[in-house]
């Protein structure tokens, strides 16, 4: 049996992402990786919480944060999570075109989120002079939110690369796990954002 | 079988011998010779835990030695296949439950001692003495806020009562440790201020160490705790309060030294009541046990120190100070006559003094 | 592709083969050699420390250099010696023990190794570029965040890179054990070494990210002006301690659990008995791993967390003694009624029991929060952790190496030389460290560059130094044994110890595809079961068929080298922004390799059934 026969069976299985051993390994391994990422973000959250009171001047969470923008960002990211679910739904139905379409929408929403975040940072730095170096709160804030932003950026690169790479050849058992775990990653980013939204912005505004 | 045991025995005998030779360490330094409430309490705790642990160790070793002697493969047994035991429920329960019980026995005094040493009630009730301790690279500042006096390196406390220490650091983390009086506590930079108390039973001069790596001269950041009777302590306090930083020294050399000191040293070193500065407070320098906590207290050493402190305490902040040899002599004369109190480390009963 | 069997011709080809290999057995060799080399460097640093402390008022090395020495000794031994050596064993043994042909992610396996190696090299380059890190292996802020020079920068970048490698390795073993066990190899039939590897990998997965974050914060503070640990800007130095120990305490179990597993296999094999209380042993391992995350603050009793926190962490710390005790007793009762053969592997295992029991005892004593106010940061602590790390991990590594050497290299290490190496090391170890308990209580803090005449510490320190040299002799004998064995000893049989687990059903050393046919596991100690029923080998679970194998790749090497180069860039951009070019070049190489990996399909190749039959017994 050649690789082509194995990876492009006549009837695609229902869970193409877990049909091969490699796929299963990627699936389990990626969940493990997300476990580690959880500890990573937990540590960043802990650090942020310990330092969020160490502000300098008027640049406190209450004064800085604007919930309107953050709400829009949250909506963008939540919706993108949903669209990536659609994409996976179409993957399981072996409809490659629709999967690509929904992944494209996901990427666009993610770009929108990232644009807002860049605007937000730009705004803080230039309007308020609130930077990474201005206080321990600043360091904690930019590190936590920035790590998340970095994850979003990486996720966008990842999904886009997968879409381009497989544009011509369509879905098979070799790339299905790759699509699947990239969408897992995207969900994870979304969950982290929900925590950032709550802990950093909401609590910052209220507390 | 004799081979195994035979080889171990000399090691054992040797270790015991070594312990006898070494004893329990030097008076006034060793945690094994407690001279204060904290150290005493903690030694008791150590003994309890050691006793429990020794019991466990003896049991383990008894089984271990028995098994080794009894079940070692002998000639002609190469093909013997032992019974493949899966386990034994009751045995396993025994060696789970007994350790749990033993640990509970240890946990109770542990928790008691932990709370006891953090107990600050007496302080609020009777207004005990408070000393603000500040760790610095590589020296200690002691401030008595209620008495409005300051000193460095030698901490004077009265015996028989609790002296509360409010502890912080001006730079990196240090740890304040006087093994024969109490356990240690870190001094942190910033707002993480810590509190502990000292209660010395007997008069004496006790060694103190910095116990948290704080830079090159970490091992040289020694200090002393001078425990004196309450009368002597009161005497010392009033002597310290009466120090006049402007007082003119008697000898001509010391007079010049005072001038040189005011020109070159006052930027960092204070005489009289002061907060922790860049350098140690020198109010009662003439009464110190040691120069910089480590050198014998005499003029030659002081001159050498002033000329090149880095040679004795690498990385300290006094490095690179420029005074002439002559000025250093004069400054030394000035500093050595700052001995305003009758109560000195030498006057302490039964102390190992300036050793 | 039938260039399946790599042709090894000449040194160049061999080096290329090792640089590109994704075979877990060769990666094990790499880990062993690299870890062994770092072990020797760390040992040399230890000897220098002991010479400095041999007598009072010593000036053998300067105070500054001394701090670099202790920092690098600790960092090297933990991250660059003990962990890689453990990874060497895991790589060599775990796939064989579960009946797998390789690990789940052979490519990542190779990446993990090269990241570790380049991280370790980066760290050690600091010796030649103006000073190694000098803030202790614990690297407490603000001493570390304000340490002048670039030493601590090397610590941060080196450990970040090496740590990423470890994390990848951990995930790899988790997935391997979850997904790639042979038919019949249920969880409760896995050999203890596999079990402890599994739990260790869980610990790595959840512990290392905390270090990653700590290192990032330290990096940002030192290189980009953030204020995490800078109290003048509202930072808090204690955060580092928490993050470090949230990683650091599980790290202790990461070091000890795998050798617990190795000891279990060794006690069982050389007593010719099934492991006593197998399920209790598994349970104890899981429990130790779990509790390992609940006790980090016992390293911080004197930080001022308050009596409530101290008490809670004291009690949870003591609790760990229970599962550890269960293990000790189960080992003793594995030997009970057995037929004990004093091979060298067994000798190290036997030496471990009293040693580790003492280490465990002092561990409980240290866990008693208030008493720790006296022990903390003294030589008592130094003695304690050497009793567990040397007496546990290093003894375990020696035991395991003697045990599995035939599986790794095809030859049994010379037993006479093995005995000859054990005794000086064992005696030297106790001479070095036993006395240190007392030195600590007699008032000697750890990390002290010197002590004074008249403090009563001279005799103890002298004895300790003598012991250290005995340990060095023991190590040299072992090294000699390795060379001697390679030259003089005959090829080993498949099963030199009358083993019980799957790896002993394979030739020593196994062919590169491990199992010609995936084995069928019929119980705990599968090989033993077959032997007891009079069979020669393991029953296969599948007919002979094509074997799918992964291709080798140079990319892991290039990716790691990219990060290595970028590391230098980050360290020196503080002095000169032009160094950002190095960052760009390094990260460029890294990402280019990564994209190559994702864009170029790597499907591996098949070894054909016919080739396997030709090979007859499956030997290369």
- What one-character-per-residue DSSP string does B4-29 give? HHHHHHHHHHHHHHHHHHHTT--TTT
Q: Give the three-state DSSP class for B226.
A: strand
Neighbour subunits, B (≥3 Cβ pairs < 8 A) = C
Q: Which fold has domain B2-75+87-117?
A: Helix Hairpins (1.10.287)
Q: Going by DSSP bridges, is the β-strand pair B185-187/B174-177 parallel, antiparallel, or unpaired?
A: antiparallel
Q: Going by DSSP bridges, is the β-strand pair B163-169/B194-198 parallel, antiparallel, or unpaired?
A: antiparallel
Judge: C370–B73 Cβ closer than 8 Å, yes or no: no
Token pair 């064989």 is found at C96
- Please choose, from the candidates C554, C515, C20, the residue with its C-alpha nearest in 3D space to the C-alpha of residue C6: C20
For residue B163, what pLDDT is reported? Answer: 95
Whether residue B11 has pLDDT greater than 60: no
- The 3-state DSSP composition of chain B as helix, strand, coil percent (nearest 5) reads 40, 15, 40
pLDDT band, residue B7 (cuts 50/70/90): low
Residue B212 in contact with partner chain C when CB distance is under 8 A: yes
Q: Does the interface ipTM go beyond 0.85?
A: yes
| Burial classification of residue C303, based on how many CB atoms lie within 10 Å of its CB (0-12 exposed, 13-18 middle, 19 or more buried) | buried
Give the closest-approach CA distance of C281 to chain A in angstroms.
24
Q: Give the three-state DSSP class for C70.
A: helix
How far apart (Å, rounded) are the C-alpha atoms in residues C502 and C494? 11
Q: What is the 3-state secondary structure (H, E, C) of C114-128?
A: HHHHHHHHHHHHHHH
Nearest CA in chain C to B194: C304
How far apart (Å, rounded) are the C-alpha atoms in residues C280 and B87? 9
How far apart (Å, rounded) are the C-alpha atoms in residues C485 and B1? 28
Q: B13 CB contacts (<8 Å, ≥6 apart)?
A: none
- Please choose, from the candidates B272, B12, B262, the residue with its C-alpha nearest in 3D space to the C-alpha of residue C430: B12
What does the pLDDT look like over B141-186, one tens digit per residue? 999 999 999 999 999 999 999 999 999 999 999 999 999 999 999 9
How far apart (Å, rounded) are the C-alpha atoms in residues B326 and B307? 10
Within a 13 Å sphere around the CA of C457, how many CA atoms are in the beta-carbon half?
26
- Please choose, from the candidates C469, C393, C376, the residue with its C-alpha nearest in 3D space to the C-alpha of residue C427: C469
How far apart (Å, rounded) are the C-alpha atoms in residues C368 and B50? 11
Q: How many domains does chain C have?
A: 1
Which chain C positions have a beta carbon within 8 Å of A29's beta carbon? 104-105, 171-172, 174-175
pLDDT band, residue B354 (cuts 50/70/90): very low
Give the best residue of A19, A22, A23, A39 to mutate against chain C (max C CB count within 10 A): A39
Judge: B32–C326 Cβ closer than 8 Å, yes or no: no
Give the closest-approach CA distance of C447 to chain B in angstroms.
7
**Omega cis (within 30) before C142:** yes
Query: For C185, phi and psi rounded to 5 degrees?
Result: -85, 80
Contact C152, C133 (CB under 8 A): yes
Tell me whether residue C500 is in a domain. yes
Give the closest-approach CA distance of C241 to chain A in angstroms.
12
Contact C55, C461 (CB under 8 A): yes
Q: How many domains does chain A have?
A: 1
Tell me whether residue C359 is in a domain. yes
Tell me whether residue A138 is in a domain. yes
Q: What is the DSSP letter of B80?
A: -
Q: Which of residues 194-253 of C touch A (CB under 8 A)?
A: 205-210, 212-214, 216-217, 220-221, 224-228, 230, 233-236, 239, 242-243, 246
- Please choose, from the candidates C208, C107, C200, C103, the residue with its C-alpha nearest in 3D space to the C-alpha of residue C160: C208
For helices C458-488 and B2-22, angle between their N-to-C axes, nearest 10 degrees:
150
> Quick one: how far is CA A146 from the chain centroid?
12
Nearest CA in chain C to B88: C277
Instruction: Dump the DSSP string for A52-91.
Output: TT---TT--HHHH--HHHHHHHHHHHHHHHHHHHHHHHHH
For residue A8, what pLDDT is reported? Answer: 81
Give the best residue of C143, C232, C310 to mutate against chain B (max B CB count within 10 A): C143
Neighbour subunits, C (≥3 Cβ pairs < 8 A) = A, B
Query: For C423, phi and psi rounded to 5 degrees?
Result: -65, -50
Instruction: State mean pLDDT over A165-180.
Output: 92
How far apart (Å, rounded) are the C-alpha atoms in residues C99 and B292? 66
Residue C98 in contact with partner chain A when CB distance is under 8 A: no
Count Cβ atoms below 10 Å from residue B286 Cβ, excluding itself.
16
Q: For A188-192, B24-28, B197-201, which range has the lowest pLDDT when averaged over its residues?
A: B24-28
- Please choose, from the candidates B181, B262, B190, B227, the residue with its C-alpha nearest in 3D space to the C-alpha of residue B350: B227
Report the run of H or E that residue B205 belongs to, with start and end. Answer: strand B204-210
pLDDT band, residue B22 (cuts 50/70/90): low
Nearest CA in chain B to C453: B355
The CA–CA distances, whole Å, from B288 to B240, B294, B348, C505 equal 13, 11, 13, 75
Q: Measured between alpha carbons, how far apart are the two ends of chain A, in Å?
A: 64
Give the best residue of C160, C183, C227 to mutate against chain A (max A CB count within 10 A): C227
Which chain C positions have a beta carbon within 8 Å of A36's beta carbon? 167, 171, 205-206, 208-209
How far apart (Å, rounded) are the C-alpha atoms in residues C54 and B28? 23
Q: Give the three-state DSSP class for B209.
A: strand
Q: What is the 3-state secondary structure (H, E, C) of C515-537?
A: CCCCECCCCCCHHHHHHHCCCCC
How far apart (Å, rounded) are the C-alpha atoms in residues C202 and C289? 8
A-side interface with C, Cβ within 8 Å?
Answer: 1, 3, 7, 21, 24-25, 28-29, 32-33, 35-37, 39-40, 43-44, 46-47, 50-51, 53-56, 132-133, 135-140, 143, 161-162, 165, 174, 178
Give the closest-approach CA distance of C103 to chain B in angstroms.
30
Q: What percent of chain B lies above the pLDDT cut of 70?
A: 91
Residue C434 in contact with partner chain B when CB distance is under 8 A: yes
Which chain C positions have a beta carbon within 8 Å of B289's beta carbon? none
Tell me whether residue C5 is in a domain. no
| Burial classification of residue C539, based on how many CB atoms lie within 10 Å of its CB (0-12 exposed, 13-18 middle, 19 or more buried) | middle
Tell me whether residue A18 is in a domain. no
Of A139, A161, A165, which is closest to C227 when you measure between CB atoms?
A139
The CA–CA distances, whole Å, from C284 to B319, C202, C477 equal 55, 15, 35
What does the pLDDT look like over B218-265, one tens digit per residue? 999 999 999 999 999 999 999 999 998 888 898 999 999 999 999 888
Instruction: Dump the DSSP string for B119-152.
Output: --HHHHHH--EEEEEEEETTEEEEEETTTTEEEE
Average pLDDT across chain A, whole number:
93
The CA–CA distances, whole Å, from C210 to A89, B296, C465 equal 35, 47, 36
Token pair 């009072």 is found at C56
Give the best residue of B87, B175, B319 to mutate against chain C (max C CB count within 10 A): B87
Which chain C positions have a beta carbon within 8 Å of B11's beta carbon? 427, 430-431
Of C179, C213, C599, which is closest to A44 when you measure between CB atoms?
C213
Query: For B132, phi and psi rounded to 5 degrees?
Result: -90, 120
For residue A2, what pLDDT is reported? Answer: 64
Query: For residue A114, what are the domain limits?
Result: 29-206
Q: Which of residues 102-161 of B touch C (CB under 8 A)?
A: 103, 106-107, 110-111, 113-118
Average pLDDT along chain C, 620 residues, taken 10 residues at a time: 50 92 96 98 97 95 96 97 97 96 96 97 96 95 94 97 96 97 96 97 97 97 95 94 97 96 97 95 96 94 95 95 96 96 96 96 94 96 97 97 96 97 97 95 95 91 97 97 96 94 94 94 94 89 91 96 97 95 97 92 88 57
How far apart (Å, rounded) are the C-alpha atoms in residues A24 and C208? 24
Which chain B positions have a beta carbon within 8 Å of C271's beta carbon? 71, 82
Which chain B positions have a beta carbon within 8 Å of C459's beta carbon? 18, 21-22
> Residue C288: which CATH number?
1.20.210.10
Tell me whether residue A140 is in a domain. yes
Query: For A162, phi and psi rounded to 5 degrees?
Result: -60, -40
Polymer length of chain A: 207
How far apart (Å, rounded) are the C-alpha atoms in residues A54 and C208? 27
Within a 13 Å sphere around the CA of B228, how many CA atoms are in the beta-carbon half?
22
Give the closest-approach CA distance of B131 to chain C in angstroms.
17
Two tokens at A166? Answer: 């497989």
Query: For residue C174, what are the domain limits?
Result: 17-553+602-614
Whether residue B9 has pLDDT greater than 60: no
List helix spans (H) across C271-343: 278-291, 307-319, 321-335
Of C340, C358, C442, which is closest to B30 when you measure between CB atoms?
C442
Q: Where do the domains of chain B lie?
A: 2-75+87-117, 129-355
Which chain B positions have a beta carbon within 8 Å of C461's beta carbon? none
Nearest CA in chain C to A37: C209
Of C231, C328, C455, which is closest to B189 when you measure between CB atoms?
C231
Give the closest-approach CA distance of A138 to chain C in angstroms.
8
- Please choose, from the candidates C481, C367, C469, the residue with its C-alpha nearest in 3D space to the C-alpha of residue C420: C481
Of C140, C371, C438, which is closest to B22 when you measure between CB atoms?
C438
Judge: A143–C216 Cβ closer than 8 Å, yes or no: yes
Count Cβ atoms below 10 Å from residue C341 Cβ, excluding itself.
17
Instruction: State mean pLDDT over B63-74.
Output: 95
Q: What is the DSSP letter of C494?
A: S
Contact B155, B176 (CB under 8 A): no
> Residue A131: which CATH number?
1.20.120.80
Tell me whether residue C435 is in a domain. yes
Tell me whether residue C563 is in a domain. no
Q: Going by DSSP bridges, is the β-strand pair B154-158/B163-169 parallel, antiparallel, or unpaired?
A: unpaired
For residue C1, what pLDDT is reported? Answer: 37
Helices (H) and strands (E) in chain B, counts: 8, 12
Instruction: State mean pLDDT over A87-101.
Output: 94
| Burial classification of residue C419, based on how many CB atoms lie within 10 Å of its CB (0-12 exposed, 13-18 middle, 19 or more buried) | middle
Two tokens at B5? Answer: 């045991």
Query: For C378, phi and psi rounded to 5 degrees?
Result: -115, 180
CATH node for B129-355? 2.60.40.420
Nearest CA in chain C to A4: C603
How far apart (Å, rounded) are the C-alpha atoms in residues B199 and B187? 19
More confident site: B345 or B351: B345
For residue C620, what pLDDT is reported? Answer: 37
Which chain A positions have a beta carbon within 8 Å of C209's beta carbon? 36-37, 39-40, 43
Residue C321 in contact with partner chain B when CB distance is under 8 A: yes
For residue C11, what pLDDT is reported? Answer: 87
Two tokens at C21? Answer: 């290999």
pLDDT band, residue B340 (cuts 50/70/90): confident
How far apart (Å, rounded) are the C-alpha atoms in residues A37 and C101? 29
Which chain B positions have a beta carbon within 8 Å of C378's beta carbon? 211
Tell me whether residue C109 is in a domain. yes
Judge: C443–B179 Cβ closer than 8 Å, yes or no: yes
């Amino acid at each position: 049996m050649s690789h082509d026969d194995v990876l492009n069976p006549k009837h695609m299985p229902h869970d193409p992402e877990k049909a091969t051993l490699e796929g299963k390994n990627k699936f389990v391994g990626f969940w493990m990786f997300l476990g580690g990422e959880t500890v990573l973000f937990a540590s960043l959250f802990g650090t942020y919480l310990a330092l969020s009171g160490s502000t300098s001047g008027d640049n406190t969470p209450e004064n800085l944060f604007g919930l309107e923008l953050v709400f829009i960002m949250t909506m963008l990211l939540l919706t993108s999570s949903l669209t990536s679910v659609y994409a996976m739904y179409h993957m399981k139905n072996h409809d490659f075109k629709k999967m690509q379409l929904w992944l494209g929408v996901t990427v666009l929403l993610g770009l929108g989120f990232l644009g807002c975040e860049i605007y937000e940072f730009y705004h803080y730095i230039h309007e308020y002079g609130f930077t990474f170096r201005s206080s321990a709160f600043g360091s904690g804030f930019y590190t936590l939110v920035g790590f998340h932003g970095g994850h979003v950026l990486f996720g966008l690169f990842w999904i886009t690369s997968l879409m381009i790479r497989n544009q011509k050849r369509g879905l098979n058992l070799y790339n299905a796990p790759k699509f699947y775990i990239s969408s897992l990653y995207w969900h994870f980013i979304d969950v982290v954002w929900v925590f950032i939204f709550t802990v950093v912005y909401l609590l910052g505004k209220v507390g | 079988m004799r081979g195994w045991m035979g080889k171990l025995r000399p090691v054992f005998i040797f270790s015991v011998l070594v312990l006898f030779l070494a004893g329990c360490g030097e008076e006034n330094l060793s945690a094994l010779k407690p001279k204060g409430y904290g150290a005493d309490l903690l030694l008791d705790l150590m003994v309890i835990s050691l006793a429990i642990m020794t019991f466990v160790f003896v049991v383990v070793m008894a089984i271990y030695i028995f098994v080794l002697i009894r079940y070692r493969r002998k000639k002609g047994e190469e093909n013997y296949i032992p019974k493949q035991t899966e386990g034994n429920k009751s045995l396993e329960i025994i060696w789970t439950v007994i350790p749990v019980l033993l640990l509970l026995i240890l946990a109770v005094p542990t928790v008691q001692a932990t709370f006891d040493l953090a107990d600050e009630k007496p302080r609020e009730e009777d207004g005990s003495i408070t000393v603000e301790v500040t760790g610095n690279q590589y020296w200690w500042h002691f401030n008595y806020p209620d008495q409005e006096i300051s000193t460095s390196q030698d901490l004077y406390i009265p015996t028989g009562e609790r002296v509360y220490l409010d502890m912080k650091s001006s730079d990196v983390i240090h740890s304040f440790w006087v093994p024969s009086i109490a356990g240690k506590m870190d001094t942190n930079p910033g707002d993480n201020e810590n509190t502990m108390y000292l209660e010395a039973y007997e008069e004496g001069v006790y060694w103190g160490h910095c116990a948290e790596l704080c830079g090159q001269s970490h091992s040289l950041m020694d200090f002393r705790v001078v425990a004196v009777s309450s009368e002597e302590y009161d005497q010392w306090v009033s002597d310290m309060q009466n120090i006049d930083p402007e007082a003119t020294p008697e000898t001509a050399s010391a007079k010049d030294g005072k001038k040189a000191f005011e020109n070159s040293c006052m930027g960092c070193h204070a005489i009289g009541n002061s907060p922790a500065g860049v350098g140690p407070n020198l109010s009662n320098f003439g009464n110190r046990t040691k120069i910089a906590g480590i050198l014998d207290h005499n003029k030659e050493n002081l001159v050498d120190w002033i000329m090149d402190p880095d040679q004795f305490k690498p990385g300290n902040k006094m490095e690179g100070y420029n005074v002439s040899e002559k000025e250093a002599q004069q400054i030394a004369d000035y500093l050595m006559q700052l001995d305003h109190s009758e109560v000195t480390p030498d006057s302490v009963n039964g102390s190992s003094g300036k050793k | 592709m039938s260039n399946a069997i790599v042709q090894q011709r000449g040194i160049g080809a061999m080096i290329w083969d090792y640089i590109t290999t994704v075979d877990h057995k060769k990666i094990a060799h790499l880990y062993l050699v690299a870890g062994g080399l770092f072990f020797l460097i760390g040992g040399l640093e230890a000897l220098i420390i002991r010479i400095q402390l041999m007598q009072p008022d010593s000036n053998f090395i300067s105070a500054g250099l001394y701090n670099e020495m202790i920092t690098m000794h600790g960092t090297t031994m933990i991250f660059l010696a003990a962990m890689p050596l453990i990874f060497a064993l895991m790589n060599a043994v775990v796939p064989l023990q579960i009946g797998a042909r390789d690990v789940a992610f052979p490519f990542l396996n190779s990446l993990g190794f090269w990241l570790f190696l380049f991280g370790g090299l980066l760290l050690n380059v600091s010796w030649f570029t103006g000073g190694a890190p000098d803030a202790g292996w614990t690297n407490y802020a603000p001493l570390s965040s304000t340490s002048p020079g670039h030493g601590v920068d090397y610590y941060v970048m080196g450990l970040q890179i090496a740590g990423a490698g470890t994390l990848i390795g951990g995930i790899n073993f988790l997935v391997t054990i979850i997904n790639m066990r042979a038919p019949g190899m249920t969880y409760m039939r896995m050999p203890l070494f596999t079990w402890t590897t599994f739990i260790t990998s869980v610990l790595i997965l959840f512990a290392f990210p905390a270090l990653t974050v700590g290192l990032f914060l330290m990096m940002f503070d030192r290189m980009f002006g953030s204020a995490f640990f800078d109290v003048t800007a509202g930072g808090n130095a204690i955060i580092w301690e928490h993050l470090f120990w949230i990683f650091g305490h599980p790290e202790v179990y990461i070091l000890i659990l795998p050798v617990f597993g190795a000891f279990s296999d060794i006690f069982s094999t050389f007593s010719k008995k099934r492991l006593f209380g197998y399920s209790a042993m598994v349970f104890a391992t899981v429990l130790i791993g779990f509790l390992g995350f609940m006790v980090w603050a016992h390293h911080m009793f004197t930080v001022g967390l308050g009596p409530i926190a101290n008490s809670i962490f004291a009690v949870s710390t003591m609790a760990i003694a229970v599962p550890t005790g269960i293990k000790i007793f189960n080992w003793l009762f594995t030997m009970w009624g057995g037929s004990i053969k004093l091979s060298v592997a067994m000798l190290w295992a036997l030496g471990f029991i009293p040693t580790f029991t003492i280490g465990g005892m002092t561990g409980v004593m240290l866990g008693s929060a208030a008493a720790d106010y006296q022990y903390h940061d003294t030589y008592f602590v130094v003695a304690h952790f050497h009793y567990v790390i040397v007496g546990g991990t290093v003894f375990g590594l020696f035991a395991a190496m003697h045990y599995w050497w035939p599986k790794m290299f095809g030859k049994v290490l010379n037993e006479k030389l093995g005995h000859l190496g054990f005794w000086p090391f064992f005696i030297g170890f106790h001479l070095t460290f036993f006395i240190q308990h007392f030195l600590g209580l007699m008032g000697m803090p750890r990390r002290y560059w010197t002590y004074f005449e008249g403090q009563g510490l001279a005799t103890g320190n002298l004895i300790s130094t003598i012991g250290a040299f005995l340990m060095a002799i023991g190590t040299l004998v072992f090294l000699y044994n390795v060379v001697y064995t390679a030259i003089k000893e005959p090829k080993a049989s498949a099963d030199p110890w009358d083993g019980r687990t799957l790896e002993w059903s394979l030739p020593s050393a196994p062919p590169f595809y491990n199992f010609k046919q995936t084995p069928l596991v019929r119980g705990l100690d599968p090989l033993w079961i077959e032997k007891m029923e009079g069979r020669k080998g393991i029953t296969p679970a599948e007919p002979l068929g094509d074997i799918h194998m992964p291709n080798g790749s140079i990319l892991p090497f290039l990716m790691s080298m990219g990060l290595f180069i970028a590391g230098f860039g980050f360290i020196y951009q503080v002095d000169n922004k032009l160094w950002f070019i190095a960052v760009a070049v390094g990260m460029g190489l890294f990402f280019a390799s990564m994209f190559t990996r994702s864009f170029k399909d790597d499907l591996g190749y098949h070894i054909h059934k016919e080739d396997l039959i030709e090979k007859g017994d499956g030997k290369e």
